[in-house]
Amino acid sequence: MNDAIHMETTPPLEGLRIVELSSYVASPLCGLTLAQLGADVIRVEPIGGAADRRRWPLTDDGTSLYWAGLNQGKQALEVDLNTHRGRQLVTDLIVDSGADGGIVVTNSERWPQLGFEQLRRLRDDLIHVRLAGMDDGSPAVDYTVQARSGFPAITGPEGSETAVNHPLPAWDLLAGLYLTTGLLAAVARRRRSGEGAQVRVALENVALAASGYLGFLAQAQVAPRPPRRRDGNFVYGTFGHDFVTRDEQRVMIVTLTRRQWLDLVAVTGMGGRFASLEARTGARFDDEGDRYRYRHQLADEFSAWFARHDANDIAQRLGPTHVLWSFYATFADLAADDARLMREHPLFEPVDQVGVGCILAPGSPLEIDRSRRGPAPAPAIGQDTRRILTERLALSPSELHFLSAAGVVGTVESGPGT
């Protein structure tokens, strides 16, 4: 088993109360990040479970592994928000939740009663955190934002004219962390001044901001021709590329610094060849710009060397150097040999997940004082409904049964955790 670093001190957000009205990736990631830091996060979902409880990847019996990952350590309240009483229950939960409550995370404007203006009338220090699609409020998801971002035009193999979206929902993930940052900034201000806040993050703005921060939009304005093109697995602006070994493994090599470049040249014995190329072209390969300009010639030279050596030999040669390198792996490779890599990695621990069984799951990648919060199971549908309504809203058993019979909340008579 790995040597997991557990958070033994009081979690930094212990006592903070969050009500999450969300779905899919960005806003659930915000709730997950807060829960990993010790916040009390209640995810509200409709009767029978939210639509993203059935999102792929699934187990053979239809349990969503996606849900299990993004909802670790949360509590689940099953309630019909299409009913006035259901909305009132959630309103009460938000408004009457103590000094460290009154915080909502959402990606929906479907229920005006749960919007910022309405809730602020009931609690003037409300913190309302919302994910939007486009800046103008129109809907969008990561993959439609990707299409407008410019990145699909530079993703994929050289020479291709087909737009390529990335399978990683990068804007969702970044937006989730921006939501978290905005929420924590609002909490800090509230503790200082007593003021609430309306926090909003649009997926479109996350993508445009990232494009600007990285210089891509400035490049298009200042030097629009020639346009940035697809570069395959080359690393833009420096030397980096993938190579195939003699035993048909594939390895990614990157040299950002002069020292890394010189180490790679020394390991491969290419110094003489590159000195001759420098003499012919006037290039200086200790400059990463020139390494990028002549990337194809350099890659051709290195390809022959990598093709003559096995993966183990290459690993031994590169191990003591400053070169950045890694062999490619599939998700199946990462889970191979009874998930040995995950069993030995301190980020992972066993979790008994409802509907899945025992799996190795990641905890928080964030370390505080050399400790981190480990993983926790995601809740079953409505798992905490009874406890939340009785402990937080002081509903009686008869009131619970009436609400359940009326379909306002999920079944509360039986079941684990209810």
- The answer to whether 172 is a known catalytic residue is yes
Q: Based on the number of CB atoms within 10 Å of its own CB, is 63 exposed (0-12), middle (13-18) or buried (19 or more)? A: buried
Buried b (16+ CB within 10 A) or exposed e, 308-328: ebebeebbeebeeeebbbeee
What's the CA gap between 76 and 22, in Å, rounded?
Answer: 12
Beta bridge partners of 76: 43
Q: Residue 198, CB half-sphere, CA atoms under 13 Å: how many?
A: 9
Task: Give how far the C-alpha of residue 248 lies from the chain's centroid of Cα atoms, to the nearest Å.
Answer: 32
- Please tell me which residue in 172, 231, 242, 384 is annotated as part of the active site: 172
What's the CA gap between 355 and 64, in Å, rounded?
Answer: 9
Three-class SS string for 200-222? Answer: EEEHHHHHHHHHHHCCHHHHHHH
If one counts every other C-beta atom within 10 angstroms of the C-beta of residue 15, the result is: 13
Buried b (16+ CB within 10 A) or exposed e, 77-93: bbbbbebeebbebbbbb
Report the amino acid identity of residue 324.
L
What's the CA gap between 110 and 235, in Å, rounded?
Answer: 43
| Cis peptide preceding 365, ω within 30 of 0 | no
Beta carbons within 8 Å of 188's beta carbon, 6+ residues apart: none
Q: How far apart are the first and last CA of the chain?
A: 32
Beta bridge partners of 75: 42
Tokens 């009436």 map to which residue?
A: 402
Q: Which residues are catalytic?
A: 172
